[in-house]
Structure 1
Amino acid sequence: MRRAVREWLGRYAPEGVVAVALSGGADSLALTAAACAEADAVDALIVDHGLQAGSAEVAARAATQALKLGCRSAQVLPVTVESPGGPEAAARQARYAALDEARQGLPVLLGHTLDDQAETVLLGLARGSGARSIQGMAEFDAPWGRPLLGLRRNVTRELCGDLGMDPWEDPHNTAPEFTRVRLRAEVLPLLEEVLGGGVAAALARTAAQLREDGEVLDGLAGELLADARAGDALRIETLATVAPALRRRVIRGWLLEHGAKSLTDSNLRAVEALVTQWRGQGGVAVGGSSGGTRLVAAREHGRLILRSE
């Protein structure tokens, strides 16, 4: 654990000052302990979602544990979970917003392990949205740092036991109504049994390889996007003859920078068809709706354009 944190700090935070997102669970508690041993200063940020009875007491206990471990400070961040998208997504959105506001310019370490990475890859496979959806989580996606992506979840529990720490057991982590819980408790163990072990590590390796490939393709797509620009539009001629993987990345980057949201593979392919399968079809809605209007991509005079309708 200490080596993983030490190596992460050397790559991404050589100044040695970080924040840690602490829930009180085994993963984040062990991460906090390792960070306190390796970093020059650690600020603990504890988000209280207020979704369970006694959540304030759980947060206060985590803050006390953080200070005992050697954190420079421990701050409890109460949040209100009420945004759309289901309870998991709403809680995640509220949590990250609170952490981002409180981090005071520091990178925030998160306790995601190799097991979490494997679950994320499986969820991406189920969505079927291409390689990007199964690249998993990055070791550093500023300001979020994940030093433990190469370690199994059981290692964090072992560390807590060795240090005599009693982690909090979140009842949501065993609630079968959550998809990720069923992946953890049912799907991954079955895959390990059927395929002879090593599945979680193999999924994590696949994610890392795809992320490396994706970084190269994204760099090439950035150059192509610059070449294809015609003001706020894109020149069809520039896009028509390039490889589909690059063309869709260019279209995706262009759409996102103009306010498109929640893009799916079908969105991108429908916009791509305006370039490669032009039959006079109408525009393609690409999200980003606001104030009674929607964002639409269309083909006009040899260019891809965006307009509000």
Structure 2
Amino acid sequence: MPSVDPALAAARTAVRAELADLPAGSLVLVACSGGPDSLALAATVATEAQRVGRSVRSPGYAVRAGAVVVDHALQPGSDGVAEVAAQQCRELGLDPVVVHRVAVTRGPGPEAAAREARYRAFDEVAAATGAVAVLLGHTLDDQAEQVLLGLARGSGARSLAGMPPRRDRYRRPFLGLRRAQTERVCAVVGREPWHDPTNDGSTTAAPLRSRVRDRLLPTLESVLGPGAVEALARSAVQLRDDADLLDTLATDLLADARAAEASGEGASGAAVVLDVTPLADAPAALRRRALRAAVLEAGCPAGTTTARHVEALDALVTRWRGQGEVHLPGGARATRACGRLVLRSGTVPGAEPHPAP
């Protein structure tokens, strides 16, 4: 029996593990742009979905596989690129294959706005088709890029924890694979991927993530050794475990502060009202996490809520000197009065809140 290419074998193993817990007859969608990562994922899922759950006693197929292709309409000819990606998915045997054109509106930045539009499209198509999971083609290289970008922004552990393997309906089977492996899979299965011109990070005009990909990661591996990217990904896993625990404890703290407030009078028209005493008594790491959660609950966009905003709120709790209100993203305001922290939403009544990225 001929041996299976190592990259293809690794891809198949990763996908098989990600599909193994799905109920028989479930539909999964591959988010496919036509690039090397998502096309390799589509090709692998097309094969492995037919094998999951197959046995002598149960010869049927456990999982059905389709695809969703998002046309962001940001580049000339984007509709053609989307249709080529969709046709490749059809040729692989994926069904249904849905092309969803989106309108990318202004947001905290062009990349963040495109991401928000893309995930809204995934959610809409998943709901319309009854898909139980959407599979994303992010790789270990993407994870390392995410960690480096978080470091450059001075982000906390949650951001440095990178992308989770699973969140809600989203799954990332390839987080343990390198980008070179997905390119190899495409070559082995005879599929020609599309190469996004915005991924060329050789110019200063290129998106920051593309410059990190093309220039910073190779330099990092050249200086620190070929295991540097894997080490960044391992750090993300360790930080994710820590961040999960801290988030759970911070949620409990926020509930305690809210419960204490509920026994008082509260503030008319306030989105969030909290008693400062349990917050002030808590360790700083938990308090700041709870405050960030309160800010998001008040309607502030996650993408523009920074550590400086949280630090200003923290000063209202722990370094109270009669200072005035804190201005927050989205027009929200925070004040302290009578031992209570009051966060008022800046959202216009009846308006939809800005979606979190």
TM-score class normalised by the smaller sequence = over 0.9
| Larger displacement relative to structure 2 (256-265 or 84-93) | 84-93
- Equivalent residue letter for 1:17: L
The yes-or-no answer on 1:306 pairing with 2:343 is yes
Residue in 1 aligned with 2:326? 284
Residue in 2 aligned with 1:22? 32
Residue in 2 aligned with 1:273? 315
Residue in 2 aligned with 1:158? 184
CA–CA distance in structure 1, aligned partners of residues 81 and 309 of structure 2: 43
Normalised by the length of structure 1, the TM-score is 0.93
Q: Which runs of 5+ in 1 are unaligned?
A: 290-294
Aligned pairs (5 A) from 1:187-206: 187-206=216-235
Aligned pairs (5 A) from 1:58-207: 58-104=81-127, 105-106=130-131, 107-175=133-201, 176=203, 177-207=206-236
**Alignment partner of 2:66: what SS?**
strand
Return the offset for 1:308: 5.3
CA–CA distance in structure 2, aligned partners of residues 238 and 3 of structure 1: 48
Q: Which runs of 5+ in 2 are unaligned?
A: 1-10, 50-62, 263-271, 347-357
Q: Following superposition, which runs of at least 4 residues in structure 1 exceed 6 angstroms of deviation?
A: none
The yes-or-no answer on 1:48 pairing with 2:64 is no
- Equivalent residue letter for 2:47: A
Residue in 2 aligned with 1:241? 281
Asked if structure 1 preserves the Cα contact closer than 8 Å seen for 2:313 and 2:326, the reply is: yes
Instruction: Note closer, same or farther for the CA distance 1:202–1:170 as it changes in structure 2 (3 Å cut).
Output: same
**Alignment partner of 1:268: what SS?**
helix
**Alignment partner of 2:175: what SS?**
coil
Residue in 2 aligned with 1:296? 333
The yes-or-no answer on 1:222 pairing with 2:251 is yes
- Give me the CA root mean square deviation: 1.6
Return the offset for 1:17: 2.2
Instruction: Note closer, same or farther for the CA distance 1:168–1:140 as it changes in structure 2 (3 Å cut).
Output: same
Q: How many residues align?
A: 303
Q: Residues 139-171 of structure 1, C-alpha deviation per residue, up to 9 Å, x if partnerless?
A: 112232211111101111111111111111111
Return the offset for 1:102: 1.2
Q: Residues 13-34 of structure 1, C-alpha deviation per residue, up to 9 Å, x if partnerless?
A: 4444211111111100110111
CA–CA distance in structure 2, aligned partners of residues 156 and 75 of structure 1: 23
The yes-or-no answer on 1:10 pairing with 2:39 is no
CA–CA distance in structure 2, aligned partners of residues 249 and 112 of structure 1: 27
The sequence identity of aligned pairs, in percent, is 52
Q: 2:299 aligns with which of 251, 256, 259?
A: 259
Return the offset for 1:99: 1.8
The yes-or-no answer on 1:37 pairing with 2:47 is yes
Asked if structure 2 preserves the Cα contact closer than 8 Å seen for 1:127 and 1:133, the reply is: no
Q: Residues 199-249 of structure 1, C-alpha deviation per residue, up to 9 Å, x if partnerless?
A: 111111111111110111111111111111113421111111211001111
